[in-house]
Amino acid sequence: MILFDSFLHFFYRAKWGILVRHRDQIFNFVNCRTMKIVTNFLLRKNRKADDGKSSVCVRITYLGNRIELATGIYSSTDHWDIVRQRIKDKVIGARVDNERLDRIKTEIQDIFNQLRSTNEDFDANTIKRKLLNIQESKGILAVFDYYLDSILAKLNKGYSMETYKHYKSSRKRLADFMNSSLKRPDISVQCIDYKFLDAFDVFIKKDFNNVQNTAWNYHKHLRRVLNLAISLDYIDKNPYSKFKVGLDETHREILSMEELKRIEEKQIQIERLSVVRDIFVFACYTGLSFADISKLSDIHLQQKSDGKEWIIIDRSKTNNRCRIPVLPKAKEILKRYEDYPKTTGKSLLLPVLTNQKMNSYLKELGDICTIKKNITMHIARHTFATTVTLSNGVPIETVSKLLGHTSLKTTQIYAKVLDQKISEDMDVLEAKLCNA
């Protein structure tokens, strides 16, 4: 700008005052000239046909960005006019090929003019997609909806309703973020970059007060949706390759054997609490999740050649098959509910309530048994993995099979919990020895 003013001042002194009077118009003209699109044709000698001719490419340059596309026309080096960027007129078929090049250039200019008239941001890649008639990329929420529809179509065949609900929750959070922060109902999946992911991370932690591990789950779902976008050829790479989301180490609550026995042996007069207690204890001795216990029926009980009764069931969450020998405590509870009114005629083995009610009643049970831990149905599964099995010498590989884990790494989390418990027990032992 300083140089431009100096230039004008020079001509003013030379009595070219007209330039100064029209300074703004001239500056705008110069600025507009830099916003034009430049189209060139060139030979790519590294791209040759079987006859040795090189590919004629069109190079589009706009706002400092440059892309190249093959035109489908080939020429030998001798027949190509570098200055005119055309095939030499005397070459056979040159007129037809040169007309094709002219049409390509005209089409590029038309696309550029159309895009500029919309007043929306665009770049050389936008022109490329228009030129190749490539459909504009879907919005991220549209791809998310595609993923949700896919889950629904595969319910109980690799996906559970709980999984669908979790993904739907993540979709809602993403929509909330775009409406609140971007003021847009959707955004092209190609616009998802590091800044977008970082802003989304701040949003869910600040506006919804989500902890790191909850945020991690939202990012996990979005990352999988973006992987789907890659499979659908909407994007070339996943922006999560640069944006990393870590998990904070969590403490998995478990019941000690003393606490489990306290619950088992507690005399309870209230029927609803007595039923919930029995189902919880059953889960502690089988490792089954709430969803799996809810659907447990006669068909899942099988007598093996060893004479023992086994529970054989496909996990609702992963569809992995679990084979669990029925321990005496679990068998005793099943026997107790063989003729229970709420299970008779339904082929269900236990009268399971909703997960919310079960956990609500378990909180009451914890108060009655003077256990300060927040008892839930999922704690029963943790207790089976640690207190009932690993603590009693069952190999971790066996525990992994009993729990239906897809990876031993998942089971190793329980081993860490067990190490912590051993450490706590040793602290108690050390205190006793010091006081002896």
pLDDT digit string, tens, across residues 209-220:
888 989 999 999
Pairwise CA distance, residues 196 & 181, whole Å: 10
Please write the tens of the pLDDT for every residue from 273-297: 999 999 999 999 999 999 899 999 9
Please write the tens of the pLDDT for every residue from 182-218: 888 888 888 899 999 999 999 999 988 888 989 999 9
Pairwise CA distance, residues 17 & 8, whole Å: 9
Asked if the model's pLDDT at residue 86 lies above 60, the reply is yes
Of the candidates 157, 124, 144, the one whose C-alpha atom is nearest the C-alpha of residue 189 is: 144
Higher pLDDT, 370 or 49: 370
Asked if the model's pLDDT at residue 30 lies above 70, the reply is no
Average pLDDT over residues 235-254: 84
pLDDT value at residue 3: 46
pLDDT band for position 436 (cuts 50, 70, 90): low
pTM of the complete model: 0.56
Asked if the model's pLDDT at residue 116 lies above 80, the reply is yes
DSSP tally for the chain: helices H, then strands E: 17, 8
Query: Are 371 and 259 a contacting pair, CB within 8 Å?
Result: yes
Average pLDDT over residues 294-310: 87
pLDDT value at residue 243: 93
Which helix (H) or strand (E) segment holds residue 41: the answer is: strand 38-48
Asked if the model's pLDDT at residue 61 lies above 80, the reply is yes
Three-state secondary-structure class, residue 363: helix
- Contact partners, residue 316, CB within 8 Å, separation at least 6: 156, 160, 162, 289, 291, 292, 295
Query: Are 359 and 276 a contacting pair, CB within 8 Å?
Result: no
Of the candidates 189, 42, 37, the one whose C-alpha atom is nearest the C-alpha of residue 128 is: 37
Pairwise CA distance, residues 139 & 147, whole Å: 13
- Contact partners, residue 174, CB within 8 Å, separation at least 6: 140, 141, 144, 200, 218, 222
- Contact partners, residue 91, CB within 8 Å, separation at least 6: 75, 79
pLDDT value at residue 29: 41
Higher pLDDT, 36 or 135: 36
- Burial bucket for residue 206 (CB in 10 Å: 0-12, 13-18, 19+): exposed
Q: Which of 44-53, 186-195, 334-343 has the highest mean pLDDT?
A: 186-195
Please write the tens of the pLDDT for every residue from 349-404: 999 999 899 999 999 999 999 999 989 998 999 999 999 998 888 888 998 889 88
pLDDT value at residue 2: 45
Asked if the model's pLDDT at residue 413 lies above 80, the reply is no
pLDDT value at residue 16: 41
Per-position DSSP letters for 94-121, written without gaps between them: HHHHHHHHHHHHHHHHHHHHHHHHTT--
pLDDT band for position 344 (cuts 50, 70, 90): low
pLDDT band for position 137 (cuts 50, 70, 90): low
Asked if the model's pLDDT at residue 228 lies above 50, the reply is yes
pLDDT value at residue 22: 47
Which residues are registered as beta bridge partners of 42? 57
Of the candidates 84, 127, 83, the one whose C-alpha atom is nearest the C-alpha of residue 102 is: 84
Per-position DSSP letters for 148-193, written without gaps between them: HHHHHHTBTTTB-HHHHHHHHHHHHHHHHHIIIII--S--BGGG--
pLDDT value at residue 345: 60
pLDDT value at residue 133: 66
Report the share of the chain in percent with pLDDT over 90.
46
**Across all residues in the chain, what is the average pLDDT?**
84
Asked if the model's pLDDT at residue 424 lies above 70, the reply is no
Pairwise CA distance, residues 24 & 1, whole Å: 12
pLDDT band for position 223 (cuts 50, 70, 90): very high
Asked if the model's pLDDT at residue 309 lies above 50, the reply is yes
- Phi, psi angles (nearest 5°) of residue 154: -115, 20
pLDDT value at residue 35: 67
Query: Are 174 and 200 a contacting pair, CB within 8 Å?
Result: yes
Q: Which amino acid is at 228?
A: L
Average pLDDT over residues 67-84: 90
Asked if the model's pLDDT at residue 263 lies above 90, the reply is yes
Please write the tens of the pLDDT for every residue from 312-331: 998 877 777 888 999 999 99
pLDDT band for position 420 (cuts 50, 70, 90): low
Find the range with the poorest average confidence among 7-16, 62-71, 291-300, 339-348.
7-16
